[in-house]
Amino acid sequence: MRKKLLILLAASFLLLSISGCWGKREIESLAFVVAIGLDFNTKTDSYQVTYQIAEPSKGGEGGPKIENRTITIESKSMVEVSSRSFEFLNKQNFPGAVKIIIIGKDLAERGMNESLDFYQRLYQLRRTVFLLLAEDKAQDILNFKMRNKDLPALSLLEIINNTSDWSITPLVRLGHYLTILGRKSEAPVIPLVRPVKPGEGGIIYKSQEEGEAEEIQLTGAGVFKGDRLAGQLTEDETKGYLWLQNEVKQRLLDTSDEGQPVYGGRVVKSGTKVKLETVDGVKGVRFLISADVSIDEYQCREEAVNPAEMKPVTHDAEEKFAQAIEKECEEAIAKSKELKLDFLGIGRQIEMKNSKYWKEIKESWPEMLPEMPVAVEAQVKVINTGATFQGPVNSESGGEE
């Protein structure tokens, strides 16, 4: 990801150095903003905008490097923030390189559309930029000192791609958010970013300053009512959301909550379909999930299983994997009903599959969501047991060969 960003910056240098309609603006006069943090100071009723600027340098033996320049500007309006940046920055902001916009919690609770509207109007800024929600302040994330010495924006880009590839958190871009925002049948979701101190959440590392956070984590997500933060999803609720949205590319599963034996697996293929059905005269929705899983881990304290005898184990694993998937989905459904916010897009499914019924309930949606029957059914097929030899546990020989 760092190499791609360097290539992007280099390409931008070349394009802007071409004479003609670009004018004669020198490359050295531009500040390439790679991330923007948006906060709101409730005490002064002002916006706080943080720019993370990547300044390429010649570097040394390792080749070209990127220097970090991060600055926060506070003002009553977004236009005034930009105007003030011209007063003391020795380079002019160039938002064409922006990859991430981070929303602070205070701004998200107040309503963030006014600030986002300013940036989506800029012709240089792409609607493909990623949106993240900070657990507290966006400026704290961008000023974060990481152990790997990277710019927080660069590390976040890599984490975003990793969590998206493994279907842990949703991938939300500005354009997607604006599209969802325009629908009555669906509520926006934005992934949550937070600093992690040593020992938190089972993450153990040695920090340079004892007790200080030096790692960043994407976990959970914020749920919005319009443009205001209305609630947060846990990690499991977020995973359930991804299943129900048919956004699981590949996933790691474990059945440690389902009793012995415990299986660990890797989802290699999955699909989610939505079916409208009537239950006791009440119209409802059923999510049908199918997944192909490869068993990567098998824990059994009682007895080892010979590869030739894996069939009963395979059936047991399929049932437990299905239960684990259904549990995550049911937690997401329960949170949707609790918040009375349709971030799962159930109304959208009704709108597409039965437009006549949607017109009948549109005005009372999503207030009627808690009473609507919503079910989930998962079917798992184990395509690879991973069994190539006798297990490590010897039930009879007591460790002898």
Domain finish residue from 233, 252, 286:
233
Residues 221, 264: one domain?
no
For each of the chain's 401 residues, which pLDDT tens digit applies? 555 555 555 445 444 444 444 444 555 556 678 999 999 999 999 999 999 987 766 555 554 566 668 889 999 998 998 888 777 666 666 677 889 999 999 999 999 999 999 888 887 788 899 999 999 999 999 998 887 778 889 899 999 988 888 999 999 999 999 999 988 889 999 999 999 888 888 888 888 777 788 889 999 999 999 999 999 999 999 999 999 999 998 999 999 888 888 999 999 999 999 999 987 788 999 999 999 999 998 887 665 555 555 567 888 999 999 999 999 999 999 999 999 999 999 999 999 999 999 999 999 999 999 999 999 999 999 998 876 544 445 545 444 44
Residues 301, 211: one domain?
no
Q: Angle at CA 281, nearest 5°, toward 277 and 286? A: 20
Residues 129, 210: one domain?
yes
- With beta carbons less than 8 A apart as the criterion, state whether 38 and 49 touch: yes
Spatial neighbors of 99 by CB under 8 A, at least 6 apart, are 5, 34, 35, 129, 130, 153, 157
Residues 209, 159: one domain?
yes
Residues 211, 296: one domain?
no
Domain finish residue from 166, 201, 233:
233
Q: Which residue carries 């440690």 as its tokens?
A: 256
Alpha-helical regions (H) of 131-283? 138-142, 152-165, 174-181, 235-244
Q: Which residue carries 């329960």 as its tokens?
A: 334
Handedness of CA 88, 91, 94, 100 (dihedral sign): negative
Domain finish residue from 204, 233, 262:
233
Residues 130, 277: one domain?
no
Spatial neighbors of 123 by CB under 8 A, at least 6 apart, are none
Residues 204, 260: one domain?
no
CATH of the domain at 289: 3.30.300.210
Residues 221, 253: one domain?
no
Residues 282, 220: one domain?
no
Residues 151, 275: one domain?
no
Residues 208, 157: one domain?
yes
- Residue range of the domain that includes 61: 1-233
Q: How far is CA 344 from CA 188, 272, 339, 355, 391, in A?
A: 9, 13, 12, 18, 42
Q: How far is CA 104 from CA 8, 38, 82, 135, 314, in A?
A: 27, 6, 19, 7, 46
Domain count, the chain: 2
- With beta carbons less than 8 A apart as the criterion, state whether 73 and 79 touch: no
Residues 43, 159: one domain?
yes
CA dihedral 147, 96, 192, 327 (to 10 degrees): -120
Q: Is 303 exposed, middle or buried (0-12, 13-18, 19+ CB in 10 A)?
A: exposed
